[in-house]
Amino acid sequence: SSRLPLVLNTWPFKNATEAAWRTLLSGGSVLDAVESGCAMCEAEQCDGTVGFGGSPDELGETTLDAMIMDGTTMAVGAVGDLRRIKNAIGVARKVLEHTTHTLLVGESATKFAESMGFTNEDLSTRSSRAIHSDWLARKCQPNYWRNVVPDPTKHCGPYKPSDVLEPSNLTYRETDVHGHD
């Protein structure tokens, strides 16, 4: 018998899978299913890698990226560096439905979200603030600077461009398996 419909998602985020499946069973579209699955993880802060209160940036702020794509119309809605709005996938869906654009970013994406009725609220938590202060205490390691002074492997910023430019080399690039997209 047919293996469809199908819900497939990265990492063992079971509740997200089941939220998407329930949406399909109740007659929702594939976009509705993707949105409800991703929104479940945003609410549950899956693994600390989705949603508010995780992965603080250098300034201690949590910002969100999300995207939704319709394989029938090839329409896409996406937000990058979305600030102070929790439901990023919901905002991405609004970009898809209410604009002819594809990707809105940063503070402007926040303003768009507010115009669509989303609540502007702080995405930091005690946990993300603790993660950030630990990072500051460890001389801001790891960080993602290069060819700057002071030496970013030993010091926090602010940084200035160094005179010597070492070429980028993907071959030796390693990522912390616990700090990623």
Partner 1 sequence: TIGMVVIHKMGRTAAGTSTNGLKFKIHGRIGDSPVPGAGAYADDTAGAAAATGDGDTLLRFLPSYQAVEYMRGGDEPSVACQKVISRIQKYSPKFFGAVICANVIGSYGAACNKLPTFTQFSFMVYNSLKNQSTEEKVDCI
Footprint on residues 2-31 left by partner 1 (CB under 8 A): 2-14, 16-18, 20-21, 24, 29-31
Between strands 160-161 and 148-149, the pairing is antiparallel
Provide the 8-state DSSP code for 25.
Answer: H
Structure tokens at 31: 């976009």
Taking the least distance from each CB to partner 1, the nearer of 5 and 111 is 5
Footprint on residues 28-87 left by partner 1 (CB under 8 A): 29-31, 33-35, 37-39, 41-42, 46, 48-52, 54-59, 61-72, 74, 76, 78-81
State in angstroms the smallest separation of the CB of 23 from partner 1. 9
Provide the 8-state DSSP code for 5.
Answer: S
Taking the least distance from each CB to partner 1, the nearer of 163 and 174 is 174
Site size toward partner 1, by CB under 8 A: 89
Structure tokens at 60: 């201690």
Taking the least distance from each CB to partner 1, the nearer of 165 and 168 is 168
Taking the least distance from each CB to partner 1, the nearer of 51 and 110 is 51
The full DSSP string for 91-159 is HHHHHHHH-S-SEEEHHHHHHHHHHTT--------HHHHHHHHHHHHTTS-S----SEES-TTT--S--
Footprint on residues 152-181 left by partner 1 (CB under 8 A): 170-181
